[in-house]
A and B are shown apart, each in its own frame.
Chain A
Amino acid sequence: KAGVTQTPRYLIKTRGQQVTLSCSPISGHRSVSWYQQTPGQGLQFLFEYFSETQRNKGNFPGRFSGRQFSNSRSEMNVSTLELGDSALYLCASSRIVPGQGGNEQFFGPGTRLTVL
């Protein structure tokens, strides 16, 4: 079974631009979560989508948005990029098991975004 894939792997943008990152979950997984990882703040939750609906959101400004398609693939968008948005963006997919309290999240390799 193929793992979680993220595209592109590396991206360089300048301040003020916008960027779209893509995530394809493991086949059969309907939940996709996004995380931002920086040396200063560590790994932080951005948002989670399930069945095309955002269910949870982290503490990030409105410049960060996302969506999920009917095939469970997800995209996240960052508008008006700032230098501080430089980070490794990770997505994770999970197979929701009804009645199971915890769900293993499988992570993709990440997209390294550099904002100049």
Chain B
Amino acid sequence: SQELEQSPQSLIVQEGKNLTINCTSSKTLYGLYWYKQKYGEGLIFLMMLQKGGEEKSHEKITAKLDEKKQQSSLHITASQPSHAGIYLCGADRATNKLIFGTGTLLAVQP
């Protein structure tokens, strides 16, 4: 089984709707990263979370790390077509060595 599990695997939402993507780890998370990827392209850094209970926001995207540091969620408010892509969570396993979740494919219908 994957060390980092993401859910759902894919998601189709209507423009303007809110959505949440979850990332669950089998080990304590000491650094949790969220990235977005357009198909076949590089990863765009969204946010990094390190402390239990930490929450960060950027524009309409909010990410949280739970108190036990084993689960993170990414929430998009009022989704737009520009939010479409693959969302990946990554976790530090050593300095600059990330393991990644399976990814969540998001489609936003106009």
Interface residues of A (CB under 8 A from B): 4, 31, 33, 35, 42-45, 48, 50, 55-56, 58, 88, 90, 92, 94, 96, 101-110, 112
Over the window 66-110 of chain B, the binary record of Cβ atoms lying under 8 Å from chain A Cβ atoms (1 yes, 0 no) is 000000000000000000000010101111111111110000000
Interface size on B, as a range, is: 20 to 34
Q: Are A103 and B95 in contact (CB under 8 A)?
A: yes
Interface of A is mostly: strand
Interface of B is mostly: strand
Residue of A nearest to B30 (CB): A101
Q: Are B43 and A107 in contact (CB under 8 A)?
A: yes
B:1-53 near A, CB below 8 Å = 30-31, 33, 35, 40-45, 48, 50
Q: Are A45 and B45 in contact (CB under 8 A)?
A: no
Count of CB-CB pairs between chains A and B under 8 Å: 74
Q: Which of B48, B93, B99, B102 contacts A104 (CB 8 A)?
A: B48
CB contacts (< 8 Å) of A102 on chain B: these are 30-31, 33, 48, 50, 92
Not counting A56-B97, A102-B92, A109-B41, a sample of 13 additional A-B residue pairs whose C-beta atoms are within 8 angstroms of each other reads A33-B97, A42-B100, A42-B103, A45-B97, A48-B95, A48-B97, A56-B94, A56-B96, A101-B50, A104-B48, A105-B98, A107-B35, A107-B44
Please, could you name 28 A-B residue pairs with CB atoms under 8 Å apart, sorted by A? A33-B96, A35-B98, A42-B102, A42-B103, A43-B88, A43-B103, A45-B93, A48-B94, A48-B95, A48-B96, A55-B95, A56-B95, A56-B97, A88-B40, A90-B43, A92-B96, A101-B30, A101-B31, A101-B50, A102-B48, A104-B45, A104-B48, A105-B33, A107-B35, A107-B43, A109-B41, A109-B42, A112-B40
